[in-house]
Structure 1
Amino acid sequence: MKHSEKNKTNAFLVALILLSIAVAVVAPFVWNRFIEGQLGVITLILMEVLLLVFIITSTHSIWKKSGSGEWKLKSDKKGMKLYTLKVPGETWLKIRIIGRLNAKLKSILTLMRNPDAAKDVGMFDSYYIDGWDPKLDGVDPKLVYYTFKQKLFPPFKHREFVVKSEFSQDPITKEMKFNFVAAPDKLPVNKRYHRVTKMHNKWRYTPLENGEVEYEFIYDAVDPGGYFPYALANWLIPNMLPFAFSKMSKILDKEKYRNAEVDYVQEVDEPVEMMM
């Protein structure tokens, strides 16, 4: 019953939005027939502004309340599947990508967590926080804090990420999991950049019997902030991520990744005692 009433309300609101758009488009061509001169111009501008505000706020309200809370397949190209999820009450889409790679697990981890890899994935100014060094004794390398920045086009500030990176590996399947959670209070604020304060991205890498590695990435930036329009982000990010992922195989084929050695990661055919 509630679902039916919600649909009727949305349908009525959509009809009003479409009518408002039609009036806003037609009004400048016929307005002088009703009110002429300076008063007519002022009244027309005021009406157009009110219609625009109504259209934007109503569209926002419909979008925010919409959503099934379930993953929906949006594209399946070149072995890469992209899903989106819209949660009622939220405006930003969650994104899920599933694909496959031919690479060592140690190579993948090095790309994922080494600040020196930032440039290869389009980031910059990346480093570990709190003086963390993977070579120091007594430091748990499965939980690290580090930061990196991402360039953004004008008029938006470049984004600054300060994250807690949690890593785990299943001792049987050798599946690797990563959690990247925003930790904005770990560094002083730099006003030159916009710091992302809400993020929980997840990665999963599962070795397959044919030697490939299946990856799953869930993008969950609740609000990148900095006045970036969510409508633009919801269109732009799902289109950009597949392009970025398509370059991963080429990046991982670089010598510094192919020959990477990480003590706390175990390859499928590597004895357990080799791990740290």
Structure 2
Amino acid sequence: MEHSGKNKTNGFLLMLTLLSVIAVVAAPFVWDRFMEGQTGMIALIVVEVLLVIFIIASSHSLWKNSGSGEWKLKSDKKGMRVYTLKNPGETWLKIKIIGRLKARLASILTLMRNPDAADDVGMFDSYYIDGWDPDKDGVDPKLVYYTFKQKLFPPFKHREFVVKSEFSQDPVTKEMKFNFVAAPDKLPFNKRYHRVTEMHNRWKYTPLENGEVEYEFIYDAVDPGGNFPYALANWLIPAMLPFAFAKMPKILDKEKYRNAKMDYVQEVGEPAEAMA
């Protein structure tokens, strides 16, 4: 009964929104039949502004209350599948991308966690936090904190990410998993950049029998903030991420990734004793 009542409310609000859109478009052509002169023009502007405010507010309400909470296929091109998920009560879409590539696991790990790789993936000013050193005794390399920044177009500030990166690998399948969780309090805030405070992005790399690696990426930035319109982000991010992922094979083919070595990752067919 509650779900039915919610649908009726949304249906009524949608009808009012559509009528308001029609009124905004039609008003300038018929308004002079009711009011003329300067007073009529001022009244028309006031009515148009109020209608536009109502349309924006009602559209936001309809969008926020919509969603099935299930993954839906958005595109399937060149071996890459893009899914989106909309939860009721949220405005930002979650995005999932599934594809395949040929690469060593150590190469992927280096690209994912080495600050020196930031420039290759469109980021900058990346470094480990707390003086973390992968070669230092007693340091757990599977849990690291680091930061990086992402350029954004005006009038929006560049984004600053401070993240906790957790890595795990299945000893049998060699599947690698990464959790990237926002850790905003690990560094002092810098007013020049907008720090993303809520994020939980997840990666999974699964070696296949044919020698390829299947990747699954879930983008879950709860709210990038900084007055960035969610409508623009929900349209732009699912469209742009596939282009970034399409560049991964070429990036991983660079010598610094092809020959990369990581003591805490085990390649397919490599005995566990080979790991440091």
TM-score, normalised with respect to structure 2: 0.98
Match of 1:275 in 2: 275
Match of 2:118 in 1: 118
Aligned length: 276
CA distance in 2 between counterparts of 1:29 and 1:267 reads 70
**CA-CA distance at 1:14 after TM superposition:** 1.1
> Mapping of 1:122-271 within 5 angstroms?
122-271=122-271
* Regions of 4+ moved over 6 Å: none
Where 2:7 maps in the other structure, the secondary structure is helix
Structure 1: 5+ residue stretches without partners: none
Moved more, 39-48 or 56-65: 39-48
Identity rate of aligned residues, in percent? 82
Match of 2:107 in 1: 107
CA distance in 2 between counterparts of 1:150 and 1:237 reads 14
CA distance in 2 between counterparts of 1:23 and 1:207 reads 57
**CA-CA distance at 1:13 after TM superposition:** 1.1
> Mapping of 1:30-41 within 5 angstroms?
30-41=30-41
**CA-CA distance at 1:269 after TM superposition:** 1.5
Where 1:177 maps in the other structure, the secondary structure is strand
Encode CA deviations 1:131-180: one digit per residue, 9 max, x unaligned: 11111111001000000000011110000000000000111111000000
CA distance in 2 between counterparts of 1:120 and 1:98 reads 21
CA distance in 2 between counterparts of 1:49 and 1:157 reads 29
Encode CA deviations 1:3-55: one digit per residue, 9 max, x unaligned: 22222222221111111011111112222221122211221111111101100
CA distance in 1 between counterparts of 2:139 and 2:188 reads 23
Encode CA deviations 1:157-207: one digit per residue, 9 max, x unaligned: 000000000000111111000000000000111111000000000000011
Counterpart amino acid of residue 52 in structure 2: L
Match of 2:75 in 1: 75
Match of 2:58 in 1: 58
CA distance in 1 between counterparts of 2:191 and 2:30 reads 49
CA distance in 1 between counterparts of 2:6 and 2:186 reads 43
Where 1:10 maps in the other structure, the secondary structure is helix
Encode CA deviations 1:245-264: one digit per residue, 9 max, x unaligned: 01100100000000000000
Where 1:241 maps in the other structure, the secondary structure is helix
Counterpart amino acid of residue 202 in structure 1: R
Structure 2: 5+ residue stretches without partners: none
